[in-house]
Amino acid sequence: MNETQASNRGDLVRTTVVFQLKLMADGFRDLVLVPVSLVAALVGLLRGGDEPEREFNQVIEFGRGTEQWINLFGNHDNPDSTNSVASIDAIFSRVEETLKQQYKAGQTSESAQEEIDEALQAAHREAMEKQSEK
């Protein structure tokens, strides 16, 4: 297996992990918004007045903001901001960069580094075996 194939596989693993984490965040957001939106609608109905939908619209706006922050399918541009919580992608990138820096500097715990190395070597051996079977 050449370096490009390993890089492509690594990118796939990273993308899959990030997507799964985003799915969990999106699901949690939906789980929270269901009762909140129902309460907001109920409050608007009971309050009445000129704008009974005011609270519900605030929930919708909050949902739109979290949709951009989660950016599940990559439809939104990532804000160019030094704010580390500008988007979930910025958080994941920062965590990934920190882990890479620690690994390169040898600051990860010895056992964690050994486990990472063993997992990478096992994946490489398996890929080489599959490649030789072709």
pLDDT tens, position by position, 57-81: 999 999 999 998 898 998 866 655 5
Report the candidate in 21, 9, 30 with the shortest Cα–Cα distance to residue 95: 21
Report the candidate in 109, 87, 89, 114 with the shortest Cα–Cα distance to residue 99: 109
**Is residue 53 pLDDT above 60, yes or no?**
yes
Average pLDDT of the segment spanning 91-118: 73
Domain carrying residue 65: 3-133
CA 12 and chain centroid, separation? 14
**Is residue 89 pLDDT above 60, yes or no?**
yes
Report the candidate in 57, 70, 58 with the shortest Cα–Cα distance to residue 30: 70
Res 9: pLDDT: 86
Res 24: pLDDT: 95
How many domains is the chain built from?
Answer: 1
Report the candidate in 55, 94, 54, 89 with the shortest Cα–Cα distance to residue 74: 89
